[in-house]
Amino acid sequence: MTSQQRTHEVLSDIIDAVNAQLDKHGVTYDEYRAGLDWLIRLGHAGEWPLFADVFFEHTVEAVNATGPGSTIEGPYYVAGAPWLERPYVLPQRDDEAGDVLILSGTVLSAGGDPVPGAVLDLWHADADCLYSNVHDGPPAFNLRGRMTADGDGRFEVRTIVPPSYHLPRGGPVEELLNAAGWHDWRPGHLHFMVSAEGYESLTTQLYFEGDRYLDSDIASAVKPELILSLRKHDDPAELSERGLSRPFY
Ligand code: MBD
Ligand code: FE
């Protein structure tokens, strides 16, 4: 199939699907014009990536997944995050809000074998649901960093536990959600891109047991195998061994 044929087929179906719904719901001229006005504002606000990733990326991701454990990238990946030195600690403010999280794990191939030297690119929102290099507030590359797994594919990194996350408020996407009576929440999450020479890379997210939005993620991007359980560590000896002055998870 040529690319023109492909474009013709996909685009015809999308246009037909939209027209069928306009017809089915008897959309009025007022509604049509309000919709167009919203689309124009969506572009002016720079929220097309947010809108598309919340409502449509999950389908593209599912169609293209080549192995277990993947989910959507979302709108806020930024290339070029700082390379971290061991022991890995994500760049953060001295008084970064949130519980301390020490995440350790092993990078495995789709076949289940450790991947020595895998590169992990990790990014997540702060406790106010802001992403550095995207939203005003956090310093450049706050809570973003790259690190490598060791010779056994293992890694450990300290950051904060990201709380339940709401989408940016005050823009056209929020306006759409409000107009339809939908909430604007995702479960708290860590984003990863994991890569290694000779392997396809993996884009995924990790979530936390007990988060109230695990079953109602507005971006439809939760999978059961991506949910972690947290264990609280508050033994003074363990804390001082790690140079921490508060409990960690
Ligand atoms: C996010 O942080 C996100 O991860 C997704 C998928 C959509 C909007 C904001
Ligand atoms: Fe996110």
**120 bridge partner residues:** 147, 194
Q: Which residue has the tokens 């949130």?
A: 98
Atom of ligand 1 nearest to the CA of 189: 4
**pLDDT tens string 49-66:** 999 999 999 999 999 998
**pLDDT tens string 216-243:** 999 999 999 999 999 999 999 999 999 9
**pLDDT tens string 195-214:** 999 999 999 999 999 999 99
Kindly state the percentage of the chain with pLDDT values over 70: 100
Cβ contact 171:47 at 8 Å: yes
Residue 77 CA to ligand 1 center (angstroms) comes to 10
pLDDT of residue 177: 98
What CA–CA distance (Å, rounded) separates 206 from 94? 24
99 CB-near residues (< 8 Å, 6+ apart): 160, 161, 246, 247, 248, 249
Residue 246 CA to ligand 1 center (angstroms) comes to 29
| Domain extents in the chain | 45-241
pLDDT of residue 21: 98
| Residue 54, ligand 1, Cβ within 6 A | yes
pLDDT of residue 39: 98
pLDDT exceeds 90 at position 181? yes
| Residue 221, ligand 1, Cβ within 6 A | yes
What distances in angstroms separate CA 106 from CA 88, 114, 128, 178, one per listed residue?
Answer: 15, 7, 29, 41
| Residue 177, ligand 1, Cβ within 6 A | no
pLDDT exceeds 90 at position 155? yes
Give, using CA atoms, the residue closest to atom 6 of ligand 1: 74
The answer to ipTM > 0.95 is yes
Q: Taking Cα atoms as reference points, which of 101, 104, 107, 151 lies closest to residue 124?
A: 101
**pLDDT tens string 114-144:** 999 999 999 999 999 999 999 999 999 999 9
| Residue 61, ligand 1, Cβ within 6 A | no
Task: State the pLDDT confidence band at 165, using cuts at 50, 70 and 90.
Answer: very high
pLDDT exceeds 90 at position 215? yes
Give, using CA atoms, the residue closest to atom 1 of ligand 1: 74
The CATH number, out of the four listed (3.10.150.10, 2.60.130.10, 1.10.620.20, 1.10.10.10), of the domain defined by the range 45-241? 2.60.130.10
pLDDT exceeds 90 at position 1? no
Atom of ligand 1 nearest to the CA of 191: 4
pLDDT of residue 67: 87
pTM reported for the whole predicted model: 0.96
**pLDDT tens string 66-96:** 888 999 999 999 999 999 999 999 999 999 9
pLDDT of residue 183: 98
DSSP of 16-39, one letter per residue? HHHHHHHHHTT--HHHHHHHHHHH
Give, using CA atoms, the residue closest to atom 5 of ligand 1: 74
